[in-house]
Amino acid sequence: MRLAFVTEYDGTNFSGFQKQKNAISVQEVIEDALKEITKEDISINYAGRTDAGVHALSQVFDFTTDIKRDHKNWIDGMNSNLPDSISIKSISDVPDDFHSRFSALDRSYTYVVYNSKTKPLFFDNLVHWDDNLIEFSSIQEQANMFLGSHDFTSFRSSRCSSNNPVKDIKSIEATKVNNFIFITIKANAFLHNMVRIISGTLIDIAKGEINLSIDEILLKKNRAAAGKTASAKGLFFLGPQYDSQFQIQSPTINIMDKFKS
């Protein structure tokens, strides 16, 4: 049988989600926890490969097993063997052909900016801090230009290995709550560092450091035309969306609730 798990994690002290040879990853810690409770070497599939320092509220991973446990037993067993920075939130039975990555219809991310002259003491590892004046209305106006299908060559890192730079932005929304700015993006797929470059570019335009519009930057198809890559610690993977047939029990996410005092 195949099981799908929804997990959240603070990525501050991890090298990213994907297992690496010389650094601690979220995948490695989860697979170690699975080995503790199953006594088997299990390799998991996962929905999104988040980079070092990036967080997740609904990462999904799956694997096959012949071990029969009720869902609560799986969740309790996993969480008792995971550090406080990783938590299993739910579990679902899925068909054998389900794959966390390839079955996803789209994925969503939120980038969190803290705009204030003073440092965000209690949120330092969870936000991108900028003490310059950011014109929020500019972020709203420019963000809308990303909607639809575009060639995102200007918004991919030099290490991006994707063969197709064309991605479809299904929704993008900028919201401001006190000193926090939230940029939430849903797309069919993302290029390497795409959300961080989009966010950094919107911030740079809103500070008056870039005189081009998003439309103009997209047309240039040149990474040098876009803004800085925003810091990893402000990025949250909200999770993938699947066809309702899979019944992935992902919790309703409102990231702004995480930052309200």
- What is the DSSP pairing of strand 2-9 with strand 86-94? antiparallel
Distance CA 59, CA 176 (A): 25
The single residue of 10, 51, 130, 204 carrying the catalytic annotation is 51
- For residue 72, what is the enclosing H or E element? helix 71-80
Answer yes or no: 51 catalytic.
yes
Residue 122 CB partners (closer than 8 Å, separation 6+): none
Buried/exposed code over 79-97 (b: 16+ C-beta within 10 A; e: otherwise): bebbeeebebbbbbebeee
Handedness of CA 29, 57, 202, 124 (dihedral sign): negative
Indicate which residues carry an active-site annotation.
51
